[in-house]
C-alpha cells in the first residue's frame, strides 16, 4: 500500500486489511526538501511520520522506499523544462507515468507482492464480451471514481494493462465525506488532516516561488487588449493562460489572455474579455491507449484539465497525434496539460487514454 501520510491512503490500507489482504505499507521518498522545497525543509519528514503513525495504528509493517533520483529526472527536471518552453505541465500525470506507479510496482513484485494499491479516487473493471471479430476482451478498463468532485482518473490515463492488473483502488467507490467519516470512526491519526493542494510529493509551494529557484526573472510589459501598458510582469514563463492570481494590479480581476514572446509582453484582460481565450480545437502528441486503440475518427468525451467537465469532441488522427475538435468552445486549453479521453458506461466514465496537448488553435492571442 502506497501510504502517503494522507487520509485517503490511510483508509485504503484499513479497507485492504479488513478484506483479508496481508498489507505492507510503503512511503515513497521522492522529494526530500532541498533548497527547491519552499514549502519547508521537513515537508517530506512530516508526511513520512504521519504515514508511520497510520501504519502503527493499523498494526501493519512500514517501510520507506527511495525514488528521489528518478523523481528528479522524470518529474522535476521535466517540470522546469516545460515551463521554460512556455508550457504548463501536469506533474501528477508525469509522476504516475514514470515513478509512483511503475517503479513502485516493479519493486513490489520483486519483493513478493501480488498487488499494489493507492488512495486514488478511481476504479477498474475486467469486462467480458465479444469483439466484432469474435475474440474475447480480456483487457482491463480504468474507471472514473464514484465521487465526481474527487475523481482522479485524469491523472492515470498512462496506465498499462500490466499495471492495472496489479493495481487496487480501495476508496475508488467511496466519496470523500465517506472516507473522512470512516477515518474519524477508526480514530486514524490523519482523520482530519487537510488535503494536499501542492505539487505531487513537493508540497504546498507557490508555483511562482518554485519556478524562480531555476528560472530567472525577465521583466516586461503587461498590456491590455487595446495595447496599453498597465503594469509589469516578471517573466513570461511564470504565467499560464487564464491565470488570475499574481498579477499585482488594481481594478481587477484581471486574467492572462496571451503572450507576445518577441516583445516580451503579457496580454491581460477583464472577465468580460475571457472569450478571447476560448478555443474549439487542439493538436496533441502521440496518444496512449489503456485498452485497444480507439478506431478513429470518433466522437468521445474529453477533459482537457483536471476537474474540468468532460465535453464531447470529434477526434481524428493528426500525424502521430490527435486533432480534437470540441463541439463547444473551451476555456483556456493549455499546451503541456493532458487531453484525457472517456466514454460513458452504466455507472460513470471509462478512461480510454489520452495525450499531452501540443498546440491550441484559436484566432486571437497566441499561447
Per-residue pLDDT of 1-40, as tens digits, reads: 999 999 999 999 999 999 999 999 999 999 886 545 454 4
* Whether residue 273 has pLDDT greater than 70: yes
Last residue of a domain, one of 234, 249, 275: 275
Can you tell me the distance from the alpha carbon of 211 to that of 109, in angstroms, rounded to the nearest whole number?
36
Last residue of a domain, one of 231, 258, 275: 275
Q: Please check whether residue 98 is in contact with residue 105, taking contact to mean a CB–CB distance below 8 angstroms.
A: no
Pick from 109-123, 183-197, 318-332: least confident: 183-197
Whether residues 56 and 149 fall in one domain: yes
C-alpha to C-alpha distances, 165 to 117, 160, 343, nearest whole angstrom:
11, 9, 21
Q: Are strands 220-223 and 229-233 parallel, antiparallel or unpaired?
A: antiparallel
Whether residues 155 and 303 fall in one domain: no
Provide the number of structural domains found in the chain: 3
Reference 124, options 350, 353, 288; nearest CA is 350
Whether residues 46 and 157 fall in one domain: yes
C-alpha to C-alpha distances, 324 to 154, 243, 274, 282, 298, nearest whole angstrom:
17, 23, 21, 5, 10
* Span 28-38, pLDDT tens digits: 999 886 545 45
95 is catalytic: yes
Whether 356 maps to a domain, the answer reads yes
Whether residues 47 and 160 fall in one domain: yes
Last residue of a domain, one of 253, 275, 297: 275
Q: How would you class 268 by CB atoms within 10 Å of its CB: exposed for 0-12, middle for 13-18, buried for 19 or more? A: buried
Residue 253 neighbours by CB distance under 10 Å: 11
Q: What average pLDDT does this structure show over 234-259?
A: 92
Please, which residues bridge with residue 66 across strands?
A: 29
Q: Please check whether residue 70 is in contact with residue 64, taking contact to mean a CB–CB distance below 8 angstroms.
A: no
Whether residues 131 and 34 fall in one domain: yes
Pick from 56-60, 79-83, 124-128, 172-176: least confident: 124-128
> Which three cell numbers, joined as nine digits, stand for 243?
491565470
Can you tell me the distance from the alpha carbon of 144 to that of 167, in angstroms, rounded to the nearest whole number?
15
Per annotation, catalytic residue among 60, 142, 191, 200: 200
| φ, ψ dihedrals at 307, nearest 5° | 70, 0
Whether 222 maps to a domain, the answer reads yes
The pLDDT assigned to 45 comes to 87
Q: How much is the mean pLDDT over the chain? A: 91
Whether residues 226 and 290 fall in one domain: no
Whether residues 266 and 284 fall in one domain: no
Whether 173 maps to a domain, the answer reads yes
**Which percentage of the chain shows pLDDT scores above 90?**
80
Whether 194 maps to a domain, the answer reads no
Per annotation, catalytic residue among 3, 95, 156, 300: 95
Whether residues 239 and 333 fall in one domain: no
* Whether residue 132 has pLDDT greater than 50: no
Whether residues 52 and 139 fall in one domain: yes
The pLDDT assigned to 199 comes to 64
Please, which residues bridge with residue 52 across strands?
A: none
Q: Which ranges of the chain does DSSP label H, i.e. alpha helix? A: 7-18, 43-58, 68-71, 77-84, 91-95, 102-110, 161-165, 176-185, 207-211
143: left (phi over 0), alpha (psi -120 to 50) or beta: beta
CATH of the domain at 17: 3.40.50.620
Whether 258 maps to a domain, the answer reads yes
Whether residues 252 and 353 fall in one domain: no
CATH of the domain at 334: 2.40.30.10
* Span 163-205, pLDDT tens digits: 999 999 999 999 999 999 999 999 999 999 988 766 655 656 7
CATH of the domain at 250: 2.30.30.280
Whether residues 248 and 308 fall in one domain: no
Whether 197 maps to a domain, the answer reads no
* Span 215-242, pLDDT tens digits: 999 999 999 999 999 999 999 999 999 9
Whether 196 maps to a domain, the answer reads no
Whether residues 178 and 31 fall in one domain: yes
Which one of 109-118, 123-132, 355-364 scores highest in mean pLDDT? Answer: 109-118
Domain that holds residue 300: 278-361
Q: Is 358 helix (H, G, I), strand (E, B) or coil?
A: strand
Can you tell me the distance from the alpha carbon of 82 to that of 86, in angstroms, rounded to the nearest whole number?
7
Whether 192 maps to a domain, the answer reads no
Amino acid at each position: 500500500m502506497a501510504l502517503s501520510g494522507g487520509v485517503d491512503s490511510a483508509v485504503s490500507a484499513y479497507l485492504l486489511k479488513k478484506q483479508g489482504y496481508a498489507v505492507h505499507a510503503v512511503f515513497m521518498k521522492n522529494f526530500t526538501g532541498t533548497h527547491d522545497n519552499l514549502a519547508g525543509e521537513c515537508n517530506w519528514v512530516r508526511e513520512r511520520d504521519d504515514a508511520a503513525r497510520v501504519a502503527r495504528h493499523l498494526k501493519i509493517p512500514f517501510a520507506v522506499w527511495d525514488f528521489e533520483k528518478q523523481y528528479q529526472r522524470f518529474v522535476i527536471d521535466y517540470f522546469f523544462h516545460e515551463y521554460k518552453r512556455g508550457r504548463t505541465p501536469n506533474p501528477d500525470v508525469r509522476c504516475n507515468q514514470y515513478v509512483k506507479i511503475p517503479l513502485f510496482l516493479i519493486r513490489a513484485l520483486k519483493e513478493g507482492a501480488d498487488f499494489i494499491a493507492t488512495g486514488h479516487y478511481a476504479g477498474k473493471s475486467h469486462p467480458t464480451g465479444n469483439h466484432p471479430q469474435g475474440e474475447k476482451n480480456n483487457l482491463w478498463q480504468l474507471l472514473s471514481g464514484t465521487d465526481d468532485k474527487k475523481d482522479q482518473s485524469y491523472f492515470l490515463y498512462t496506465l498499462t494493462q500490466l499495471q492495472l492488473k496489479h493495481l487496487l483502488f480501495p476508496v475508488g467507490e467511496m466519496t470523500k465525506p465517506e472516507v473522512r467519516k470512516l477515518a474519524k470512526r477508526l480514530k486514524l491519526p490523519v482523520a482530519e488532516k487537510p488535503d494536499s493542494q501542492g505539487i505531487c510529493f513537493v508540497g504546498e509551494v507557490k508555483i511562482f516561488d518554485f519556478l524562480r529557484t531555476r528560472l530567472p526573472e525577465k521583466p516586461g510589459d503587461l498590456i491590455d487588449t487595446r495595447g496599453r501598458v498597465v503594469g509589469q510582469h516578471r517573466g513570461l514563463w511564470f504565467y499560464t493562460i487564464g491565470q488570475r492570481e499574481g498579477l499585482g494590479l488594481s481594478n481587477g480581476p484581471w486574467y492572462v489572455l496571451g503572450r507576445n514572446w518577441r516583445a516580451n509582453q503579457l496580454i491581460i484582460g477583464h472577465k468580460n474579455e475571457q472569450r478571447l481565450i476560448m478555443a474549439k480545437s487542439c493538436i496533441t502528441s502521440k496518444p496512449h491507449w489503456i485498452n485497444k486503440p480507439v478506431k478513429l475518427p470518433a466522437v468521445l468525451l474529453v477533459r482537457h484539465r483536471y476537474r474540468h467537465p468532460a465535453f464531447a469532441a470529434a477526434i481524428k488522427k493528426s500525424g502521430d497525434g490527435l486533432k480534437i475538435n470540441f463541439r463547444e468552445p473551451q476555456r483556456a486549453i493549455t499546451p503541456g496539460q493532458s487531453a484525457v479521453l472517456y466514454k460513458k458506461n452504466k455507472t460513470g466514465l471509462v478512461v480510454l487514454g489520452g495525450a499531452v496537448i501540443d498546440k491550441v488553435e484559436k484566432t486571437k492571442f497566441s499561447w
